[in-house]
């Protein structure tokens, strides 16, 4: 139950941020920023492939992506590698990455 409340709060914050965001910057510029940030991720998350330990994150729904990254950052998801990576990302950067990966099937 607590967990659900945390998730619900996260979604509410995420959509508030998305609305604010939509007012100012262009989504094309965000996707371009996301592509730039994604180069770090590709050492593990290679093009459209998944291994037994590393999931394919291309084509992942934008909202899910944001929720998952914030959950790693908040240490609600246990993986230490992703916790460490997510802890260095701002909300803006996560949003840009979410847009880029959701729009990109095969870079």
Interface with ligand HEC (CB under 6 A): 40-41, 43-45, 53-55, 57, 65, 68-69, 77, 79, 81-82, 85, 97
Measured from the Cβ of residue 67, the count of other Cβ atoms closer than 10 Å reads 18
E strand or H helix that includes residue 103: helix 91-103
Q: Judge whether 75 and 50 are in contact, CB under 8 Å.
A: no
Write down the least CB distance from residue 51 to ligand HEC, Å.
9
Write down the least CB distance from residue 74 to ligand HEC, Å.
14
Closer Cβ to ligand HEC, 33 or 65, answer by number: 65
Closer Cβ to ligand HEC, 17 or 44, answer by number: 44
Q: Judge whether 37 and 97 are in contact, CB under 8 Å.
A: yes
Closer Cβ to ligand HEC, 15 or 79, answer by number: 79
Measured from the Cβ of residue 98, the count of other Cβ atoms closer than 10 Å reads 26
Q: Judge whether 31 and 96 are in contact, CB under 8 Å.
A: yes
Write down the least CB distance from residue 53 to ligand HEC, Å.
5
Closer Cβ to ligand HEC, 23 or 90, answer by number: 90
Q: Judge whether 98 and 52 are in contact, CB under 8 Å.
A: no
Write down the least CB distance from residue 55 to ligand HEC, Å.
4
């Amino acid at each position: 139950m607590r967990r659900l409340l945390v998730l619900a709060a996260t979604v509410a914050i995420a959509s508030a941020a998305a609305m604010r965001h939509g007012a100012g910057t262009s989504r094309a510029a965000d996707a371009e920023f996301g592509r730039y940030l994604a180069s770090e991720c590709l050492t593990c998350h290679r093009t459209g492939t998944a291994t037994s330990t590393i999931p394919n994150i291309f084509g992942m729904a934008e909202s899910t992506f944001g929720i998952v990254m914030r959950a790693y950052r908040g240490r609600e998801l246990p993986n230490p590698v992703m916790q460490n990576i997510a802890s260095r990302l701002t909300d803006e950067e996560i949003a840009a990455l979410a847009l880029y990966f959701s729009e990109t099937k095969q870079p």
